[in-house]
Amino acid sequence: MEGLEVTVLLGLTILVGTLIAPRVRLALPLVLVIFGLLLGFVPQLREVQLPPETVLLLFLPVILFWESLTTSLRSIRRDFRYILPMSTVLVVASAFAVAGIGVLFGMPWEIALILGAAVAPPDATAVAALGRLLPRRTFMKLKAESLTNDGTALVLYAIAVSLALGGQITPLSVTLDVLISYVGGIAAGVVIAGLGYLLLRRTSSTIAINVALLLIPFTAFLAAEMVHASGVLAVVVAGLIVAYVSPRVTTASSRRQADAAWPFGVFLLNGALFVLIGLEVQYVVHEISAAAIGRLVLITLAVWATLLVVRYVFQVLNVLFQRQRGPRPARGARSRARVVSTVAGMRGAVSLAIALSVPATITDGGAVSGRDEIVFVTAGVILLSLLVQGPMLPALVRWARFPVDHVEDEEYELAERAISGAALAALDDLAAEHGIGQEVRDRVRTEGYAMLEFANARTLAREQAIVDAEAEALDVMLDEPDPLSAATADPADMDPSPSGGVDQATGPDATDGTVLQMIATSADVDLAQRSPLIRHEEHTRLKLALIDRKREVLLGLRGAGTVDDIVVRRISARLDLEQVRLQGIEEYD
């Protein structure tokens, strides 16, 4: 099929899946994989191949960069002692455990190790798509692990391929490969992010800023690949740095444009990947002889089960190296949390890209034995992850009975009150600095107090809702109806109009041209008063100054670790919208 036909077909599949998924109550990635499997029954569609370079060089940089931008840096710092071994030691342990299973089923050791490297790392795209049902902290730990474990897997893959092609591997060469991959990847990410920072701080053009942001992940990946380091790790490091410095070197307009464009682009890329995974499964099934499929299915099931067991056991052992903070959770709660984390570790695009990257030939023209088996088993593990672990996850989350986490809401409300209070405290100084009249100053002060009261009222309402929910649950348990539930409002109280008739502010006289003409030419208008245009300009100037003050306080709260990066992004988005509204659509464009 031609490229344009494939593009249209993928787009239509994603559209249909988006419409159907809510109706059948399945996660969209699962629906898209099923659609890919169904499309694979068409012989012409089975020939649509997914080149590994397309995933590694086009899909992954964009997807991983966006996931890095939306990751909590505070969560990474807080849970680093958990994330580091999970993204390194666990990947190695999983790869060798899978390699052992492969050898038991008759696979050569080198080929089995390639298979282990391919399926060892949980995938960030699959985790992001299917793991949002998890508690916030668990989700962020799993997401950070998935963003950083690909570097380990790619180093193992390079070692295994070198062994399969007859290369000599020594402890020194392995150590050098690991150091180059990690240190080089981190260095490439830091350098490219630093260059991006220098460029972004010198421009205020919305288009220029977002084009630079789009180039950063690809440039970081390229720079890392040039020194034979981990391009995936370079993209992740660059994304984390850009996420931290972005509020200071980008504009409200560019951030609003990026927040609209990036999620949509990542959604399309993710959807296309899941459809193509389904097609790839059909392709490898039809390429392998029927006699070998039964054995490969058994290997796939054994590998999938091994990955789950190794992940669970490693989490049990990893607890010994964790620093316990706060009250120790109950033993049953810890075990349930490990089960949920084990099932949430799903495989996806990175595993398939590694499997497809296995060279089909070597220098003398011979084929690498076992490549089709690697692709088949890897695709099968991905399929089991998405179609079995994915639907299991919501039920397991309910079974785990995680305590309701209100930390993000509490931090959001704290930050809102803090920045509103700081803006009110600085109002007089900012008004004097910008030459704002007393009338505009009082108006903005009134608006600020109204916003502060609203933030306080919202906090009280949320706390009261928690109390009411607990009381309602207790009533249900005691089978006692709430006596207040039967109360009904007086219909007369529902009339929003003070006179019960036509609202005078929007009545027919309000649009009478003669009335407008009389107001415009009335002798009662004081032409000596400050011009409405001047008052509007002063109001805009003062509000923008207050928004800048709120941002400074908000970033200070982030720097002190008082609020999470996710909360900062939520509040910054609201401030950006307000700034764009004040500056006008022309400034936004």
Span 369-425, pLDDT tens digits? 678 889 889 989 998 988 898 888 888 888 888 887 788 888 898 999 899 888 888
Q: Which CATH number applies to 51-261+284-322+332-400? A: 1.20.1530.20
425: left (phi over 0), alpha (psi -120 to 50) or beta: alpha
**Rounded to 5 degrees, what angle do the CA atoms 105, 108, 114 make?**
100
Mean pLDDT across the stretch 197-222? Answer: 93
Question: Nearest CA to 248 among 580, 555, 543, 540?
Answer: 555
The model's confidence at residue 327, banded by pLDDT at 50, 70 and 90, is: low
End-to-end CA distance of the chain: 39
Give the model confidence (pLDDT) of 497-523 as tens digits.
444 444 444 444 444 443 333 334 344
Q: What is the pTM of this model?
A: 0.80
Share of the chain above pLDDT 70, in %: 84
Mean pLDDT across the stretch 111-124? Answer: 89
Q: How far apart are CA 462 and CA 267, in angstroms?
A: 32
Q: How far apart are CA 5 and CA 3, in angstroms?
A: 5
**Rounded to 5 degrees, what angle do the CA atoms 484, 489, 492 make?**
160
- pLDDT exceeds cutoff 70 at 491: no
Sign of CA dihedral 563, 565, 567, 573: positive
- Domain boundaries along the sequence of the chain: 51-261+284-322+332-400, 407-480+529-588
Q: How far apart are CA 523 and CA 192, in angstroms?
A: 65
Give the model confidence (pLDDT) of 513-551 as tens digits.
433 333 343 444 443 445 667 777 888 888 899 999 999
Give start and end residues of each alpha helix (H) in 120-205: 124-130, 136-148, 150-164, 171-179, 185-200
Give the model confidence (pLDDT) of 32-55 as tens digits.
989 998 998 888 887 777 676 777
Mean pLDDT across the stretch 100-119? Answer: 91
The model's confidence at residue 322, banded by pLDDT at 50, 70 and 90, is: low
Mean of pLDDT over the chain: 81
